[in-house]
Structure 1
Amino acid sequence: MVVQVERDEVERPIVAQLVAMGWTRVPGKEIGTLDSDAPFLTKKLNAALRRVNIKATGHGSWMDDSDVARSVDRLASISLGRGVVRANFEATDLLLSGFVLGGPSTAHGRASATVQYIEWHEDQVGLNDFTVVDQLRVRNLSGEVSVLDIVLFVNGIPLVAVECKSPDLSDPVYQAVRDLRYYAGSPLPHEEGAESDRPESAGVPELFRTVQLLVAATAETSHLGTITSAPDHFHPWRSVKPERRETLEAETPDRTGPLNERHKLVGVVLRPAALLNIVRHYVIPLPVETESGGSQTVKIVARHQQYRAAEEAVRRLRTGRTRTGLFDTDERGGVIWHTQGSGKSLTMTFLVRRVHLHHDLSEFMVVVVTDRTQLQDQLSQTLRLSESDVQIAKTRAQLEGLLRDGGRRVVFAMIQKYGSGLAFAGESVQDADDRNLRREYDAAEHARRKGKTEKLPPVPSFPECNTSPEILVLVDEAHRSHTSVLHAALRKAVPNAAKIGFTGTPIMTGRAEDTRRIFSGGPGRGFLDEYRMSEAERDGVVVRIRYEGRTGEGKVFDKDGLDRNFDDLVRDRTDDERRALLKRWPTERDVAESTPMIEAKAEDILEHWVSWVLPEGFKAQVAAVSRKAAVAYRDALRRARGALLAELATFDPTSVTGPVEEMSRRERYLHMAHRYRALLRRVDFVPVISPGAERKYRQWLLWTDAERQKGYIERFQQSFPQPPVEADWMTTVPFDQPPRETPYDGAGNNPWSRNQAVGPPEPEAGPDPVHPESPIAFLIVKSMLLTGFDAPREQVLYLDRPIRDAELLQAVARVNRPMPGKHVGYVVDYYGVLEHLSEALAAYQQTDVDDTMRTLSEEIADLRPTAGAVRELLVRKRITEADLSDPSGLRRAALAFEDKKDRFDFDEALHAFLTTLERVLPHEHALEYVPDARRWGMLQKRIRRLYRDAEGGTFTLRRYGRKVRAMIAAHLEGPQIERIIPPVSLTSDAFDDMMRDIPAREAAAEMGHALRFHLEERVRREDPEKYIRLSQRLEEILKELPGRFKEQVEELGPLIEQARREDEENLTLVGLSVLEQRLYRLVEEKVEGNPGVVRGETDLRHLVDMVCDTAARVMGSVAYQGQAQDLSELANAIHSQLLHAGLRPAGVEWSPMKAIAESLAAYANDNRSQFLRRAQGE
């Protein structure tokens, strides 16, 4: 059975590994059932408090019994009134900072004392008690008991909860996360189509107030998260460092192969000393934006590469040689190369927190150097999470002063290469959008071909500010050309500082050794830590980037618009080609800025976005060759949108019949656009450019206002809203009209002339050109936002400018940030850069950049082998296409997957195929595979419904991308499909009828799996004795009658009737909802046989109805927060209803009645959402 498999293959091996690492195992049956009011191992907690809190003399504890009791009460009294997450944050502060105890025992000698619950000092870890309990039973306030697989207690306080799942389940990690969230009191919403009897009640949230880490474990892997982590944010642990592989291998002697991800997570994260290190330094609160544009704070834990890099940095800081005495170089630093999007700013935060809380490093000053304003803003906000003092130096004088002061703080300095030296944040620097991009591109290529290196500016004069070795310099984007100059300046200012460089791109070949010398103290030393794109993709930290070139031999459109190629503006041309080009436009930039070219590209961009990106709800960025082109793109995109809406006004989607894959390209485009026409008319395309010389001539003022740009970026980060219902005629015209810019009219001169006799006044931007209700779908830039811009909602970058080397690698990484439903990021090249990718990235070793991007053709090529893997598996099972084309063949095919491993292999092969299909749709080459996707998806649904080994026993499209779902959902869902697939629940009215209409073999399989699912999901929880009895009989039938399907059906029928009789035996429950039935049983349990209560003529059904209404009324108040006073008010209201229904105390003592009311109030509070939905008629 599933339960036995998860015990044998997951739970017991984890416990054995923990014991080998120093944990003490106590079986749950020895603990008994913990009450939720104080879910601690009290004896261990009491002893630990005395052991950890010792007198100043170092001998004996200053705590007496009263001190211990008050300290335990403080931890147990943390309120759940504002939810388990807020309670968890409060408990975390208490564990990390301690409890200020007023009036401690005289042995302490002061008026107050700080009680520490855990000894965090690395050298005193042995003072703590580490206990692991398996199969822990905990009773919540409403009397329900939950059984947790593994709970790790430190000093009797639960810090880690591990949920184990059988590897035979369809998605064991997801199901483990689902159960953990249920136990923690913040259950995941039910998936669409899932049928489950599991209540939404809040499990045992009292225990999870102190739990810092959640582990979802199965046989080969384990994923790590926190109490706020969504399923997508639980992550695997693939590193062994800083531990030794030999150590982990010795602690897992029973494994049958190499160390897997489960061994690594347990052996690294849950090692006693490492666990305390991670909880203290690598678990932090993080403010994030919600879908609605609001903000909430979540708790995050470091990923394996972040922990590994920070720990190695700390090790070098403690053990590396400093630049003193005989040594001229500091060897405490290095370069951390973590690919773009993998969380470098959080790695810095964890490192700073680790340094400033370390007893040997706490007085270090950390200097963070960046060269981008947005990057500094982002980093400074993130680093404040380290709880260190953060100061930002905006001028050279401020920086010098902060460096001289030194001390435990973080100092930010934004320094850019400028002219003959370095410029600081508050000083004037050349604007990035003023760069001549093509000249830069050609100069870099010319220098590369000639073997020349970039000429660096002279080292600026910088005074010596601080010679202390207790300074750590963190240089972000350490790959950039200014690094050598910056190093020379900092070596003068802080000569003995340790230096760590962070880079998201590989180091250029010509600078690699120099960079390693600067940061690592020697040219021969490697990276401090590496985390490449391929690793980040595997971990789900980033999504794959796929690029598509739209340039060719100078064609713009063919007559049908099907082969759209634009001028390749990068390629070398013959003299004749160049002369021909110059007849039309003087330069390549003029080509890219020309109105015909931009309009043609804008139409193509809009079609690509509507067809490939909009269906998944994502957004786009355009990188133009100039500010002029950026503004022109906005106008062109709006005109293209207007033309599309006008065409949709006469388009009838019902006139296009047949499967999508049989439509023409234009028909598919119009069909998709028609579906989103209400949104299309409202979206806007917004340039974000910096002010340059044109500002004084009032050019582009609408798009250069910094405050507006900030608002545009915030709106770009938000999801598309649901458009309001509008009349059809309204959806064919744009939502708003473009604003008109007002140029400066100087003395009657040409308003666009740049030769004004009199200078204009300071320009003003004028009214906001973007309607406040328009969702921003596109940001259009020249250079802004191409680096350091983190926008998970951006899925595509349309590239129409020359770009190379590090800037190219950083620009394309704008689209690789992960987000639910985002399987790939797109880069579409309209300039020709990616047609010459080897040239654009020639400054790097090929092995360092070969996993950065894949072409569309490579993705298409992957379809054949992934589809072939599915076909091969079906052939081995002797399943033909004909079997998948009719209901009886489909049922027979599903029977071939009785073996759990076969089901797993099919799921994995189909998932690989559909993931590839998602990345390639709606390309024409992908459409030929859609019929296969439909047939195989239907088979997967039939398999899931037969074996019922997924959540709710049914099939969902959760693992499918939106484009695949749109293509196949109609084939998998609908009344006609449900009529040929038996229902999940054996209590369904249609179940028996369908069993009579199908062959005995199929009916026997269906009945056996339906009964097993019913027993596991429902009876096991509510009637354990009945569960054991019926389960044993089921196994006996299957064992005694192998292959005798007709006899199996005859035996299973009465057994199913017996299982159904659970509710029928109690006629009083007929007609009650699941919530009302559970409340009825709870009331009956509390009242029947209670010597302190007289029931009299009380109608319990009527009482349940009154309690439900009363609870909904009280808890529906806006003032209700679920705190102690609220629960007291709710209990009083329920107590009045008990009296009104006729319940009375048996004597003069009212406490039994009060106890019943408090228990019902606790149950209602735990299930608040269900009570409120009942009141609303849901």
Structure 2
Amino acid sequence: MRLITEKRDVQDRVIEYLQAIGWEYIPPADLQEKRGFDIKEPFIVEVLEKKLKELNPGIITDENVGDVVRRLRLIPSTFTGNQEFLEFLRGKKTVYVDKERRERNFKLIDFENPENNHFAFTKEFLFEDREKRRLDIALFVNGIPICDFELKSPTLWEAEEEAFEQVRIYNNVLPELFKYIQFYAVSEGIRLFYGPTWKYESKTLYRWKVENGFNFEKLVKTFFDKKEVIETLRTYIVFMTIEEELQKYILKQHQRRTIAKIIRRVLEEKKKKGLIWHTQGSYKSLTMIVSADELRKMPELENPTILVVVDRLELEHQIYQNFQAYGYPNIIRAESKNHLKELLENDYRGLIITTIHKFEGIPKHINKRENIIVLVDEAHRSQEGDLGNYMRASLPNAYYFGFTGTPVDKTKIGRGTFVAFGYPDEPYLDKYTIDESIEERTTVPLYYTLAKTELHVDKETLEEEFFRVVEEEGIASIEGINKVIERAEKLKAVLKARDRIDKIAKHIAEHYTKFVEPLGFKAFIVAVDREGCALYKEAIDKYLPEEYTKVVYTSDYKDNELLKKYHISDEEEKRIRKDFKSPGKLPKILIVTEKLLTGYDAPILYAMYLDKPLKDHTLLQAIARINRPYVGKTCGLVMDYIGIFENLQRALAFYSKDVEAGLIDFEKLKERFKELVKEADDLLKEIDLGDETKRIQNIIDYFFEEENRKEFIKIFKQIQEIYEILSPDEFLRDYIEKYKLLVQIYEIIYQTYNPEAEKKRIRRDILKKTEDLIKENIELLHIADNLPLYEINKDIAHTIKADKISQRVKIASLYRSIRIHIESKRKESPYLVSIAEKVEEIISQLRERQRSVEYALEELTKIAEEIAKAEKEQKESGLSKEEFSYFWILRRHGVKAPEKISKDICKILAEKEHWMFNENVERELRREFYKLLLQKSEAYTSQEDTQSYAVRESGLSYLSLDIVKLVNELLGIDKIIKGGA
């Protein structure tokens, strides 16, 4: 049985699946020929020119097609160049047509008829720019490279992360190719991940899902379905400049699904509304924008009117900027109630952005057209008061789609939302829940914890002046909450008592510097009102450097001196918002009350210090600011100074399993930590850790079994995540020595059974506080020094035999020793790398119980002796590293006069340097090797082989498996020498 490999088990399957769905496979040699053997050529030029003329009759001709291709080549090899090329792809660029004496748009792709396009792919696509690199699979539409598909073996540790990193490196060193490539995919033959090129962050690496999550064939065939790829290029890739920084997005499946459902509903005309719940942080606004753009372009709708309705002026401004950043045409903001009335009366066609409040008092049936589509943001808030009724009465035949980032509750507002946007048999048109977003790493879970009880508001005041009023008045917006707080004199007096604020400020400063700042993250302080913000700034400046904090609120010319002290200009606010997102810039904490609690996306935001009463949607919406993924961020943390979370059912009318997955009591973490440590203890009871002279050996021996390793690693990673959140809580004091031991055991497992980790001392899966713990503790930092390691020399067999440890520990130590030795000698002795596969084969057979421990130890010992002998001989041979590598392989295969033949092989390879990127040249090279070996047929010790070769010396129609295997090994070594494998 052959070993699992990237080529056999992943690449070959991808080739098969792509061909099955209509992609043409072009072998590397054929593609090289089409590229004129120019490895700097990104296009399949003959295909590109042909399709340009076919798709643009009378516009692009034989005379000007070359000029168009030249224009494509001159696009800058930058992120903005990638954006510009997408505009080319989408037919937004023009060419001058002499006959018509005018500019005409031209197509690179036929989006209306996908089958009119040419879909092709190749493997091992060699390209030269700053460096020479090979893409595993490159996909082309109409001769243009549009996707890099990087593959890894399913046996590789952290395969998808390695592939993701590889794409990022390729983008950096091959910008002349990647200025065209719009998206990438990576896979280890089990799962498939994808993302946009030029924007490599962990949060943009998405997993493609099918019903059977591990059906690799279905994953490849659905993701690379020709219509899906065309739609991705036409619709699902978005460039936007947000706060002066260019961003690139590729829509996820829940977004694609929702856009398709909205379009289907409008076209079918059977139902006129739909409710979409996409949890906070899942790019709901982007879904709305792309939906609006798709509806706008549909010829069936005959130039529709699209209204985007929000409930706050700040959000109106923000979504207007987002539509502008997207490049949406014909956008207009309704400046007033009268302006909105005029636009609808005058039958305006295009996009109108308005607040729900501007519908107040608008006449009934002001526009009865059916091709009006209303997209309502935060749909539950549109049901507050009679504003939703005014809107529907004014546009009786419109389509209404409500978007919400929070689940709809069971209150009056919630019931109204379902009636307004849903149907009894269909509460939601589409749903993307908190637990789905956490599972897919779109968001991270949130933990809440209560500050000291004496800092809380008394329950009676909170109930009387806040909870009861909010429920009775049916309030769902932050403005409504603010009006309630304005009237709550007793509540405000408690919350803004200077002594209380001073105590909380001191607590925040201590908590931030101990728990949050060491992680490199930032925080919000949410005060009860604008005056509360100013008071917090005054107080916290006593405990933290003044530049750590900034206040952001709306200014008013009537403000008193305290409030005016913290007024900022629009430009300054813009700078603060941008700098806050940057890990290396100040401020580290923002003090807010209303601004930035909705719509502000800062992934570095980790902690929210909450001192403002909020409820239901406003509470979930505010705390969702901290649920965005970021490097090293496993969760967000809410510190509650009000006491809101004492009664979660009271705070969240929709409290249910939909919310539970994303909102967890911090105290439960401590219980979970105890449970996990107990699980680890139970696992480690099997190991004798008492004898300090043998405990490392005992650990290696126990974790020789792969199932034991997997179980421990699973437990350890969960413990580490909780340690990251809790540290330096005094709760951990009783566990710190135990945790250090678990870190040591994890390090031993990792470095013994994944020896390549020696190159990366602190790895990606070690989180920040554990990394700091390792650096601070000498016994953790140098754990590898105590791991058994054999010196590879001629006496190794005697050393192993004399070693008084178990055979399993000998195997683990010898395996690690050989792997590290081969890696360290890779450049000077490339032939050794070919041994690694044999080593892995022995270990694989051992794991699968196909071989005994005794057999494995004996074989590994022989390999170690062979390495030592070969290295000694190499030093004495006088051959170059290349010549000795071929000599060594030839001799292993029983070839006579291997020294002479190795020199001949070097000469042949020097003449065909790029054979591995051209199958025709590779075939010629193999024939030359076969002929060389046949001419030297007497070189073989095997009489049977010699006779076989002598018979067919000229025709080569018969080759034994031995000679094929030998040539494969020779070519494999040349790949290693050239850095190609």
Q: Against the structure 1 CA distance between its residues 260 and 862, is the aligned structure 2 distance closer, same or farther, given a 3 Å change threshold?
A: same
Task: Report what 1:52 is aligned to.
Answer: 55
Encode CA deviations 1:345-391: one digit per residue, 9 max, x unaligned. 11122222333344435723321111223322322222224321222
Match of 1:516 among 418, 427, 435: 418
**Structure 1 residue 940: Cα displacement:** 2.5
Task: Report what 1:36 is aligned to.
Answer: 39
Letter paired with 1:222: L
Task: Report what 2:552 is aligned to.
Answer: 688
Match of 2:87 among 89, 93, 101: 93
Task: Report what 1:373 is aligned to.
Answer: 313
Question: Does structure 1 conserve the Cα–Cα contact (< 8 Å) formed by 2:551 and 2:566?
Answer: yes
Encode CA deviations 1:1140-1166: one digit per residue, 9 max, x unaligned. xxxxxxxxxxxxxxxxxxxxxxxxxxx
Match of 2:261 among 308, 312, 317: 312
For residues 844 and 20 of structure 2, the distance between their equivalents in structure 1, rounded to whole angstroms, comes to: 40
| 1:636 to 2:539 alignment | yes
Task: Report what 1:136 is aligned to.
Answer: 124
Structure 2 unmatched ranges of 5 or more: 465-487, 846-850, 882-905, 913-978
Match of 1:400 among 341, 362, 366: 341
Task: Report what 2:370 is aligned to.
Answer: 469
Letter paired with 1:600: K
Which range is displaced more, 1003-1012 or 589-598?
1003-1012
For residues 571 and 800 of structure 1, the distance between their equivalents in structure 2, rounded to whole angstroms, comes to: 12
For residues 224 and 829 of structure 1, the distance between their equivalents in structure 2, rounded to whole angstroms, comes to: 38
Task: Report what 1:487 is aligned to.
Answer: 388
Match of 1:909 among 697, 703, 715: 715
| 1:841 to 2:652 alignment | yes
For residues 857 and 818 of structure 1, the distance between their equivalents in structure 2, rounded to whole angstroms, comes to: 22
Task: Report what 1:266 is aligned to.
Answer: 220
Encode CA deviations 1:961-984: one digit per residue, 9 max, x unaligned. 323333344347777445324799
Question: Does structure 1 conserve the Cα–Cα contact (< 8 Å) formed by 2:254 and 2:432?
Answer: yes
Encode CA deviations 1:392-446: one digit per residue, 9 max, x unaligned. 2222233234335556632211344xxxxx58xxxxxxxxxxxxxxxxxxxxxxx
For residues 631 and 993 of structure 1, the distance between their equivalents in structure 2, rounded to whole angstroms, comes to: 73
Query: What secondary structure, in the 3-state scheme, does the structure 2 residue paired with 1:938 have?
Result: helix
Q: Against the structure 1 CA distance between its residues 112 and 1031, is the aligned structure 2 distance closer, same or farther, given a 3 Å change threshold?
A: same
Letter paired with 1:518: A
Structure 1 unmatched ranges of 5 or more: 56-61, 187-201, 246-257, 290-294, 322-330, 417-421, 424-458, 557-564, 574-584, 642-679, 723-774, 1070-1083, 1091-1166, 1168-1178
For residues 637 and 628 of structure 1, the distance between their equivalents in structure 2, rounded to whole angstroms, comes to: 14
For residues 985 and 213 of structure 1, the distance between their equivalents in structure 2, rounded to whole angstroms, comes to: 46
**Structure 1 residue 869: Cα displacement:** 4.3
Match of 1:607 among 507, 510, 513: 510
Match of 1:862 among 668, 672, 696: 672
| 1:117 to 2:108 alignment | yes
Query: What secondary structure, in the 3-state scheme, does the structure 2 residue paired with 1:151 have?
Result: strand
Report which of the two has the higher share of helix. 2
Match of 1:284 among 238, 247, 251: 238
Match of 1:853 among 654, 663, 676: 663
Task: Report what 1:963 is aligned to.
Answer: 769
**Structure 1 residue 306: Cα displacement:** 1.5
**Structure 1 residue 906: Cα displacement:** 3.8
For residues 779 and 1086 of structure 1, the distance between their equivalents in structure 2, rounded to whole angstroms, comes to: 67
**Structure 1 residue 623: Cα displacement:** 2.5
Task: Report what 2:886 is aligned to.
Answer: none
Question: Does structure 1 conserve the Cα–Cα contact (< 8 Å) formed by 2:274 and 2:429?
Answer: yes
Task: Report what 1:337 is aligned to.
Answer: 277
Match of 1:166 among 139, 150, 153: 153
**Structure 1 residue 855: Cα displacement:** 0.8
Encode CA deviations 1:82-112: one digit per residue, 9 max, x unaligned. x4x34433332222226644568x8xx7776
For residues 131 and 627 of structure 2, the distance between their equivalents in structure 1, rounded to whole angstroms, comes to: 47
Encode CA deviations 1:666-715: one digit per residue, 9 max, x unaligned. xxxxxxxxxxxxxx4354444434456962x5452112445376157426
Q: Against the structure 1 CA distance between its residues 261 and 501, is the aligned structure 2 distance closer, same or farther, given a 3 Å change threshold?
A: farther
For residues 791 and 64 of structure 2, the distance between their equivalents in structure 1, rounded to whole angstroms, comes to: 55
For residues 314 and 346 of structure 1, the distance between their equivalents in structure 2, rounded to whole angstroms, comes to: 16
| 1:127 to 2:100 alignment | no
Encode CA deviations 1:1073-1111: one digit per residue, 9 max, x unaligned. xxxxxxxxxxx9999999xxxxxxxxxxxxxxxxxxxxx
Query: What secondary structure, in the 3-state scheme, does the structure 1 residue paired with 2:369 have?
Result: coil
Q: Against the structure 1 CA distance between its residues 1038 and 405, is the aligned structure 2 distance closer, same or farther, given a 3 Å change threshold?
A: closer
For residues 1066 and 77 of structure 1, the distance between their equivalents in structure 2, rounded to whole angstroms, comes to: 50
Query: What secondary structure, in the 3-state scheme, does the structure 2 residue paired with 1:507 have?
Result: coil
Match of 2:615 among 786, 804, 807: 804
Percent identity, aligned pairs only, is 25
Question: Does structure 1 conserve the Cα–Cα contact (< 8 Å) formed by 2:302 and 2:371?
Answer: no
Question: Does structure 2 conserve the Cα–Cα contact (< 8 Å) formed by 1:716 and 1:778?
Answer: no
| 1:827 to 2:638 alignment | yes
Which range is displaced more, 41-50 or 1023-1032?
1023-1032
Letter paired with 1:621: F
Q: Against the structure 1 CA distance between its residues 1062 and 473, is the aligned structure 2 distance closer, same or farther, given a 3 Å change threshold?
A: farther
Query: What secondary structure, in the 3-state scheme, does the structure 2 residue paired with 1:340 have?
Result: coil
Task: Report what 1:354 is aligned to.
Answer: 294
Encode CA deviations 1:108-147: one digit per residue, 9 max, x unaligned. x7776554222111xx1111122343x3231425784x44
Question: Does structure 1 conserve the Cα–Cα contact (< 8 Å) formed by 2:186 and 2:194?
Answer: yes
Question: Does structure 2 conserve the Cα–Cα contact (< 8 Å) formed by 1:237 and 1:261?
Answer: no
Letter paired with 1:889: R
Normalising by structure 1, report the TM-score: 0.65
Q: How does 1:389-788 map to 2 (within 5 A)?
A: 389=329, 390-404=331-345, 409-416=350-357, 422=358, 460-462=361-363, 465-480=366-381, 482=383, 485-509=386-410, 510-520=412-422, 522-550=423-451, 552=453, 555=454, 567-568=458-459, 587-639=490-542, 641=543, 680-691=544-555, 695=559, 697-707=560-570, 710-711=573-574, 713-714=576-577, 717-719=580-582, 721=584, 775-788=586-599
Q: Against the structure 1 CA distance between its residues 953 and 588, is the aligned structure 2 distance closer, same or farther, given a 3 Å change threshold?
A: same
Question: Does structure 2 conserve the Cα–Cα contact (< 8 Å) formed by 1:161 and 1:213?
Answer: yes
Letter paired with 2:334: A
For residues 983 and 73 of structure 1, the distance between their equivalents in structure 2, rounded to whole angstroms, comes to: 58
For residues 132 and 813 of structure 1, the distance between their equivalents in structure 2, rounded to whole angstroms, comes to: 42
Letter paired with 1:130: F
Task: Report what 2:165 is aligned to.
Answer: 178
**Structure 1 residue 149: Cα displacement:** 2.5
Q: How does 1:156-235 map to 2 (within 5 A)?
A: 156-184=143-171, 186=172, 202=173, 204-235=174-205
Normalising by structure 2, report the TM-score: 0.77
Task: Report what 2:475 is aligned to.
Answer: none
For residues 55 and 380 of structure 2, the distance between their equivalents in structure 1, rounded to whole angstroms, comes to: 47
Letter paired with 1:400: K
For residues 2 and 385 of structure 1, the distance between their equivalents in structure 2, rounded to whole angstroms, comes to: 53
Task: Report what 2:737 is aligned to.
Answer: 931
Question: Does structure 2 conserve the Cα–Cα contact (< 8 Å) formed by 1:236 and 1:265?
Answer: no
**Structure 1 residue 947: Cα displacement:** 3.4
For residues 355 and 185 of structure 2, the distance between their equivalents in structure 1, rounded to whole angstroms, comes to: 40
Query: What secondary structure, in the 3-state scheme, does the structure 1 residue paired with 2:154 have?
Result: coil
For residues 302 and 1038 of structure 1, the distance between their equivalents in structure 2, rounded to whole angstroms, comes to: 40
For residues 412 and 909 of structure 1, the distance between their equivalents in structure 2, rounded to whole angstroms, comes to: 50
Task: Report what 1:1055 is aligned to.
Answer: 867
The count of residues paired between Structure 1 and Structure 2 equals: 853
**Structure 1 residue 215: Cα displacement:** 1.0
Task: Report what 1:18 is aligned to.
Answer: 18
| 1:299 to 2:299 alignment | no
**Structure 1 residue 40: Cα displacement:** 3.4
Question: Does structure 2 conserve the Cα–Cα contact (< 8 Å) formed by 1:1012 and 1:1031?
Answer: no
Letter paired with 1:309: T
Q: Against the structure 1 CA distance between its residues 116 and 298, is the aligned structure 2 distance closer, same or farther, given a 3 Å change threshold?
A: same
Letter paired with 1:167: P
Letter paired with 1:118: I
**Structure 1 residue 832: Cα displacement:** 1.8
Task: Report what 2:951 is aligned to.
Answer: none
Task: Report what 1:677 is aligned to.
Answer: none
Question: Does structure 2 conserve the Cα–Cα contact (< 8 Å) formed by 1:335 and 1:528?
Answer: yes
Q: Against the structure 1 CA distance between its residues 461 and 1046, is the aligned structure 2 distance closer, same or farther, given a 3 Å change threshold?
A: closer
Encode CA deviations 1:724-766: one digit per residue, 9 max, x unaligned. xxxxxxxxxxxxxxxxxxxxxxxxxxxxxxxxxxxxxxxxxxx
Question: Does structure 2 conserve the Cα–Cα contact (< 8 Å) formed by 1:39 and 1:138?
Answer: no
Query: What secondary structure, in the 3-state scheme, does the structure 2 residue paired with 1:225 have?
Result: strand
**Structure 1 residue 898: Cα displacement:** 5.0
